[in-house]
Amino acid sequence: MAASEIPSIEKSTDEDDARNCFACMKSKLNAEAGHFCKDCKHLYCNNCVNKHDDFFQRHKISLEFDKDKINVVSAPISDHNLEIYQRVTKSISEVSLEAFKQDGAGGASFDLGKCDVHKSQDVMSFCEEEELLCCNICNSTIHRACKDIEELPKVAKGVHTTAEFSTLPSRLQESLSFLDRKIFELSEEEKLIEDNADAVKTNIQYCRDEFVDIVDKLQQQSFEAVEILKSSITNDIASRKTQCAHYYDQLKSLYNVVGTDAVDETTAFIGLTKGRALLLRTRMLLKDIDGRYRCGIVFEHDTNLHKMLSNMQNIGTVKGFEHIFAVTEKSMFHITIDISKCDISAILELPCGDILLADAANSNLMLLNQSFHNLAVYPLPDIPLDMCAIGDTEIAVVTNGQVHFYFLQDGSLRSEKSIKVRKQSSGISYFAGHLYVATISTLIKYSIDGKQAKLLYKDTEAGGKVTISRCAISREGQFIYVTGPDCAGLLVLDIVGNKLTFVKNHDMVSPRGLHVAPGGQVFLCGTGSNMVLQLDREQNRLVKVADGNNGLWSPQCVVLLNGKSLLIIGQEATNSILVLRVS
């Protein structure tokens, strides 16, 4: 069922809820379930089970089940291919957008004590397994298989004394400030777009006027050609008329003399002699006039020009262009910990808004809050070279020959496991249940448990140089971007490793940092050139965003924070990170 065809959950009954997809009900939508997760103990529709499978590879999903008894009767689902993932991702996005539109259309205000799913019900309990507030209907339907459900007074006891609750007002206020600023920025952007559209229309009018001027000039040239041709023809006609009139006058005069009976012989002889000559010349003139071609004037229009104009849809191409960021303000935030200088090899923004730094000089991870103040330091077994997020609660850190996994729990990191990868691996990305690891001149795709590896791409012309040390994947999974310190720019692959294009930039030296922002923008930084570049939408050029004039010194990584217009840059041999406000 298409997302737009899914009815509101409020139209369903409690019995329907027991048969509906758990994820869709969270988005206030209904879809009949077709799969059951043994680990989650939840039902999922065909669309949502694919998304679930990407985030929870270890969970066992049943393809079929008894809807009355929910008994597993088939084997777990295998990995999904990219085409399915992209289709499901788009569907989930459309479902979320539709739910958002339904909320807006309803005009419902935020009610703290009401259930988010069943709007008319009061929240009565808390599911610790799902970390969700529940009403009585939720307890009997969505969470009926959950074991850890407690009444609100019990779980709420002492919450007002916790550090997390004490900081909640300030965090809410900070988010309010961010939203207020973003609303203002979006309003200003809306005005700029309106002015931009008016300016483009004016430019189109100018183009139209130029075309009219050109057509007017062509018309005048054609008129002039007509006049020249008309003048030539009429001059010839006038000349012949003059000759005819001349002979007519002479013949008339001769006729008046010889046409009478009183003419004498001498006069008759002279008249006869001149008459012969005049008659001969007259016959020749008449013969010449009768034998000449009759002339006229016609116009044959340029059919190629007419065809070209007829085939044109407009007088030019109207298209959007990608905004290239520019620095408006810079700040330097010092890392306030008692260690030697850091080499910030990777930066990661966590779902909560905190920032995680990988320090290659001291083999640790540093957690900063949204104000860039240090919260904690986590030692690592080896030098961190790069890291990536896996869903909302897990991160992966690549070191020399290993990938270490850590869980985010209550604002801290908990080590989970590690897997082996190829030696000298230095870059890592995650997408659709797989790890993509950059190793010197190759890009290798690993299963999440490290048991399967596939060579996606090998730079056969590397010749021992490090041309693939970083990798990043576009949000939709359509492109893979790779680069390395010995690479002359940015290589763009498709998701299965086919080379699409290579974007050169002669100013970029030793590219290290590579980042795909939440908005899809691609950033590249280089230690040797002290600059940050942004890939344009057409993927054919890298445009400078910041350089040494903005305070850059040997940048190794770059991240654009989600919704804050802040560019965070990690650098070598420093106790600080560079924060640039961009617009």
Mean pLDDT of 559-567: 85
- Give the C-alpha separation, 492 to 511, whole Å: 15
In tens, the pLDDT along 140-181 reads 888 888 888 889 999 899 888 888 788 888 878 877 877 887
Residue 67 binned pLDDT confidence (cut-offs 50, 70, 90):
very low
Q: CB neighbours (10 Å) of residue 271?
A: 17
Top CATH class, 113-157? alpha beta
Of residues 562 and 29, more confidently modeled? 562
Residue 9 confidence (pLDDT): 31
Q: CB neighbours (10 Å) of residue 22?
A: 22
Residue 431 confidence (pLDDT): 92
- Give the C-alpha separation, 474 to 53, whole Å: 20
Backbone angles phi, psi at 405, to 5 degrees: -105, 140
Say yes or no to pLDDT of 220 above 90: yes
Residue 53 confidence (pLDDT): 64
Instruction: Look at strands 531-535 and 542-546 and give their pairing.
Output: antiparallel
In tens, the pLDDT along 521-561 reads 999 998 888 899 999 888 888 999 998 888 888 899 999 98
Residue 475 confidence (pLDDT): 84
Mean pLDDT of 190-194: 85
- Can you name the residues that pair with 329 across neighbouring β-strands? 581
Q: Are 345 and 385 in contact (CB under 8 A)?
A: yes
Rg (CA), the chain: 41
Residue 347 confidence (pLDDT): 94
Residue 474 confidence (pLDDT): 92
Mean pLDDT of 351-362: 88
Residue 56 binned pLDDT confidence (cut-offs 50, 70, 90):
low
pTM summary value: 0.54
Q: Which residue has the tokens 């103990």?
A: 41
Say yes or no to pLDDT of 63 above 60: no
Residue 551 is classified by DSSP as: T
In tens, the pLDDT along 222-248 reads 999 999 999 988 998 899 899 999 989
Mean pLDDT of 407-431: 88
Say yes or no to pLDDT of 51 above 80: no
Percent of the chain with pLDDT over 70: 83
- Can you name the residues that pair with 356 across neighbouring β-strands? 348, 367
Mean pLDDT of 207-218: 89
Of residues 217 and 374, more confidently modeled? 217
Backbone angles phi, psi at 376, to 5 degrees: -160, 160
Residue 5 confidence (pLDDT): 30
3-state helix, strand, coil in the chain (%, to 5): 35, 30, 35
Of residues 41 and 216, more confidently modeled? 216
Residue 69 binned pLDDT confidence (cut-offs 50, 70, 90):
very low
Q: Are 73 and 64 in contact (CB under 8 A)?
A: yes
Residue 246 confidence (pLDDT): 92
- Dihedral (CA of 526, 529, 530, 534) sign: negative
Task: Considering the domain delimited by 342-525, tell me its CATH architecture.
Answer: 6 Propeller (2.120)
Say yes or no to pLDDT of 434 above 90: yes
Residue 574 confidence (pLDDT): 83
State the amino acid at position 580 in one-letter form.
Answer: L
Mean pLDDT rounded to a whole number for the chain: 81
Mean pLDDT of 326-342: 73
Say yes or no to pLDDT of 265 above 90: no
275, burial (CB in 10 Å: exposed 0-12, middle 13-18, buried 19+) = middle
Task: Give the chain's largest Cα–Cα span.
Answer: 156
Mean pLDDT of 565-581: 87
Q: CB neighbours (10 Å) of residue 180?
A: 10
